[in-house]
């Protein structure tokens, strides 16, 4: 373990945040620590607590000019079996290989530390910068996400706040820092399908209707359906059944109904309404008695090449010498809520190889590089 005094300001702050066990939706005063740092360099602070979720909005600058927002979350997923970790998950240490170890190192307390240190330096170097630097931080990204970024965005919209550009600190890199940035995400549409049959004795099938037998051809057709071709930015829309449940547990009873959980990860080539209509048509084609509950987690969004992506790519090139690759792969993020404000959104953070795993870790030196990338992006856009 490197002595604390030998650590850079970014790593000192990252370790402090990791040592706070902020499992969703608990914040464990991570946001207080961040706000104290930002307030000390002149940011206007606005805590926003909704239900049991802590959030904050902080700004520096004026309304005249563009707004660049840094967004992220202080909450982390549970550790899993602590005894399987090589080190205590909230100890936050740097091992002999130079890896910063601890829950949240990659997802995403390392990014938060880099954001804060980069912005401290920027507003001190450019106190009269154009436009506004903002922070939108939540403790409800890894959970239901109802009272976090989504709720803050709704309040900002009601106040007619503007966000031109946003950098979300999600761990976007795959092998080396900055090799990938996310410039969009697929939409996520989930559903619970119920197919009704008629319960009865297996010895008298003519007196029953087996929903498993009835639903199987329709489910097979849904799984084989080609939903769209995708496009230059998105792969084709995918459909996956994640759970099937039916029966009483007895071998001699025909079940009365079947439930299936499934999910679409969809591109901008498909719409929610279109997917719902096509599913209904297939179910009706098979003459099923069915009902369905839909749950939209987020719409797809895309940031095409422009000022934000150019500034981020140029900063990565200047700091690391690497060409970055824009990507829309992976799951959802809070960027889906921010994009509804008409904001250009990219995600840029550490290597994501160990996120949500036992022994989460990143290369400690990457955080200082990430700080410099964030700083140079600020300079390119707002200096």
Residues annotated as part of the active site: 75, 141
Q: List CB contacts of 203: < 8 A, sequence separation 6 or more.
A: 252
- Ramachandran region of residue 145, left (φ > 0), alpha (ψ -120 to 50) or beta? left
CA distance 21 to 17: 8
CA distance 25 to 362: 24
Q: What are phi and psi of 229, to 5 degrees?
A: -90, -5
8 A C-beta contact, residue 324 and residue 314: no
CA distance 322 to 252: 63
- Environment class of residue 94 by beta-carbon count within 10 Å: exposed (0-12), middle (13-18) or buried (19+)? buried
Q: What are phi and psi of 190, to 5 degrees?
A: -105, 165
């Amino acid at each position: 373990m490197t002595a604390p005094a030998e650590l850079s300001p970014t790593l000192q702050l990252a370790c402090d945040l990791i040592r706070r066990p902020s499992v969703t939706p608990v914040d464990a005063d991570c946001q207080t620590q961040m706000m104290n740092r930002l307030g000390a360099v002149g940011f206007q602070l606005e805590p926003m607590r909704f239900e049991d979720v802590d959030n904050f909005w902080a700004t520096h600058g004026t309304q005249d000019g563009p707004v660049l927002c840094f967004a992220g979350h202080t909450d982390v997923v549970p550790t899993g079996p602590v005894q399987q970790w090589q080190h205590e998950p909230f100890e936050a240490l740097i091992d002999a290989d130079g890896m910063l170890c601890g829950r949240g190192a990659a997802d995403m307390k390392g990014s938060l530390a880099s954001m804060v240190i980069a912005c401290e330096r920027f507003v001190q170097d450019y106190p009269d910068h154009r436009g506004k630097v903002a922070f939108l931080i939540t403790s409800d990204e890894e959970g239901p996400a109802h009272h976090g970024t989504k709720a803050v965005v709704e309040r900002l919209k009601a106040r007619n706040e503007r966000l031109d550009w946003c950098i979300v600190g999600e761990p976007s890199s795959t092998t080396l820092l900055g090799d990938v940035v996310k410039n969009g995400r697929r939409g996520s549409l989930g559903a619970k399908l119920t197919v009704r049959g008629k319960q009865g004795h297996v010895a008298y099938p003519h007196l029953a209707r087996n929903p498993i037998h009835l639903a199987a051809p329709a489910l097979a057709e849904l799984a084989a359906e080609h939903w769209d071709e995708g496009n230059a930015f998105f792969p084709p829309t995918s459909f996956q059944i994640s759970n099937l449940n039916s029966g009483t547990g007895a071998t001699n009873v025909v079940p009365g109904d079947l439930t299936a959980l499934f999910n679409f990860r969809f591109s901008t080539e498909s719409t929610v309404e279109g997917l719902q209509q096509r599913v209904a048509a297939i179910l009706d084609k098979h003459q099923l008695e069915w009902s369905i509950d839909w749950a939209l987690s987020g719409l797809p969004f895309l940031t095409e090449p422009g000022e934000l992506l150019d500034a981020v790519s140029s900063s990565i090139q200047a700091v690391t010498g690497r060409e970055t690759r824009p990507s829309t792969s992976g799951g959802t993020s809070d960027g889906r809520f921010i994009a509804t404000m008409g904001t250009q959104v990219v995600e840029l953070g550490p290597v994501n190889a160990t996120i949500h795993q036992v022994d989460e870790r990143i290369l400690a030196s990457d955080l200082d590089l990430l700080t410099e990338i964030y700083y140079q992006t600020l300079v390119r856009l707002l200096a």
